Amino acid sequence: MNKLCTACIVITFTFLSACSLNHNSSPSQKLIATEGRWQLTRPLVNLYDYELIDVRSGKPVVVDLSLSNGGLLEYDVVFIGENHGHPGNHLAQAVIYQRMLDSGEKVILSMEQFERDVQPIVDDYLSGKIGEWSLRHFARAWENYKSSYRPVVEMAKQRGLPVIAANAPKDIVVCTGREGLSVLDKLPAQRKNQIAASFYMPEEGAYFEKFTGSMGNKPDAQSTDKHSKRTKPYLNTYHAQVVRDDTMAESIDRALAAHPKHKLVHLNGHFHSASGLGTVERLKLRRNNQTAVIQPVMVSDANSPSFSDKDMVTGDYLLLIYALPEQVKTAKNQKVWMKNVFKRSKQDCSFGNNQVRN
């Protein structure tokens, strides 16, 4: 290794250590109650900084992860919600997982970020049969794998613990969103087990209202106009979301059944687990285990980090993190952003059934 690379590693380690020391250096950190809000008595100094808050009792308490796990080991399953790509969010995930492993418990790592069909590839990597490039390439790892998920996967690998590729394959999800649940009937027999065997898809209730509301769609529930929550495009998108939720829930259930003396940490985008909805509620339909949700909250003012009473109902723990930079500000850039972010997939939703066979 050349001197420049060595220096970079030392600088990076020193910087991350400083971040860690910053939020662990004051065990007596407190929260100040104001009207409808709770304020941390220290600032969040950068995008790596975070604070874990235990809100289970209704009276928030700062958790110092250098001293304890804050009660997380009381649970069979811990969902850690994330803002995808947020440095502090991912650093906290690694620290929390490490802290739980330090207790001596066997803790399975379950991930939205790998899809169920690549489980054999993940297993081959964990057993040392293939290298990391092969894992990233053939298991379709997310672009931020090396910076965001490598640390937790390596923790599991080092201890010989399972890593669960929990999510539904993207092509199946995309096609469900495009054509509806009927597209699942086209799945070849060998792909049926890549998604959940059953789905819980009520077209009412908290999760349905939250999901359709997040699409900017808030008409009267009984409306029949083109913007109704129950028109085919909206329902297809909702059903695609639930394909992910139920598949991840079933993957978690199967992992716990196969490893009965283990606990499990599941990483997913925070929408999938906020307020105990989504994947969490679908797991509870499958098994009666003790489950905790860690919900990230990007604070509006890093110098005076705070959260509201409403935030407290979104998780058993809150993870206060620094706000990400605003992505677009002008109407012109908004159009370009929408075009790039929401590109239509060129997915073949026949799953090969329309191919000519000899």
251: domain CATH number is 3.40.50.11550
Cβ atoms 308, 314 nearer than 8 A:
no
First to last CA, the chain: 54
State the pLDDT at residue 350.
85
Strand pairing report for 107-115 and 263-269: parallel
Strand pairing report for 263-269 and 77-82: parallel
User: Is 5 among the domain residues?
Assistant: no
User: Is 355 among the domain residues?
Assistant: no
Cβ atoms 50, 89 nearer than 8 A:
yes
Q: Which residues contact 122 (CB under 8 A, 6 or more apart)?
A: 114, 135, 139, 163, 165
For 144-194, what is each residue's pLDDT tens digit? 999 999 999 999 999 999 999 999 999 999 999 999 999 999 999 999 999
User: Is 160 among the domain residues?
Assistant: yes
The mean per-residue pLDDT over the stretch 70-86 comes to 97
Whether the CA torsion 244, 247, 252, 255 is positive or negative: it is negative
The mean per-residue pLDDT over the stretch 32-53 comes to 95
* Amino acid, single-letter form, for residue 55: V
Q: Give the pLDDT band of residue 106 (cuts 50, 70, 90).
A: very high
Q: Which position has the higher pLDDT, 125 or 1?
A: 125
User: Is 214 among the domain residues?
Assistant: yes
Buried b (16+ CB within 10 A) or exposed e, 167-199: bbbebbbbbbbbebeebbebbeeebeebbbeeb
User: Is 6 among the domain residues?
Assistant: no
User: Is 43 among the domain residues?
Assistant: yes
State the pLDDT at residue 20.
46
State the pLDDT at residue 229.
61
3-class secondary structure, 86: coil
User: Is 28 among the domain residues?
Assistant: no
State the pLDDT at residue 14.
40
Whether the CA torsion 141, 314, 291, 277 is positive or negative: it is negative
Show the tokens assigned to 322.
Answer: 């620094």
Give me the count of residues in the chain: 358
For 238-290, what is each residue's pLDDT tens digit? 999 999 999 999 999 999 999 999 999 999 999 999 999 999 999 999 999 99
For 190-234, what is each residue's pLDDT tens digit? 999 999 999 999 999 999 999 988 876 444 444 444 446 678 888
Of 93-102, 150-159, 322-331, where does mean pLDDT reach its minimum?
322-331
The mean per-residue pLDDT over the stretch 127-144 comes to 98
DSSP code for 72: G
Measured distance CA(40)–CA(34) in Å, rounded: 11
State the pLDDT at residue 354.
62
The mean per-residue pLDDT over the stretch 46-55 comes to 97
State the pLDDT at residue 342.
77
User: At CB < 8 A and 24+ separation, what contacts does 118-126 make?
Assistant: 118/165, 119/164, 119/165, 122/163, 122/165, 125/157, 126/156, 126/157, 126/160, 126/162, 126/163
By percentage, how much of the chain surpasses pLDDT 90?
77
Q: Give the pLDDT band of residue 8 (cuts 50, 70, 90).
A: very low
How many domains are there within the chain?
1
User: Is 24 among the domain residues?
Assistant: no
State the pLDDT at residue 204.
93
For 109-122, what is each residue's pLDDT tens digit? 999 999 999 999 99
Host domain of residue 271: 33-341
State the pLDDT at residue 85.
95
Q: Select from 54, 55, 51, 32 the least CA-distant residue to 43.
A: 51
Q: Indicate the Cα dihedral angle 10, 13, 19, 25, nearest 10°.
A: -90
Q: Give the pLDDT band of residue 337 (cuts 50, 70, 90).
A: confident
Alpha-helical (H) ranges within the chain are: 3-24, 87-102, 119-126, 132-138, 150-158, 170-179, 206-214, 232-258, 279-284, 331-341
Show the tokens assigned to 56.
Answer: 């289970």
State the pLDDT at residue 23.
52
Q: Select from 262, 282, 98 the least CA-distant residue to 201.
A: 282
In the predicted model, is pLDDT for residue 3 greater than 80? no
By percentage, how much of the chain surpasses pLDDT 70?
87
In the predicted model, is pLDDT for residue 59 greater than 80? yes
pTM: 0.88
Strands of the 50-54 sheet, one edge to the other: 61-63, 50-54, 317-321, 291-298, 77-82, 263-269, 107-115, 163-167
State the pLDDT at residue 222.
45
Q: Select from 2, 46, 40 the least CA-distant residue to 22.
A: 46
State the pLDDT at residue 107.
98
Neighbours of 350 (CB within 10 A): 11
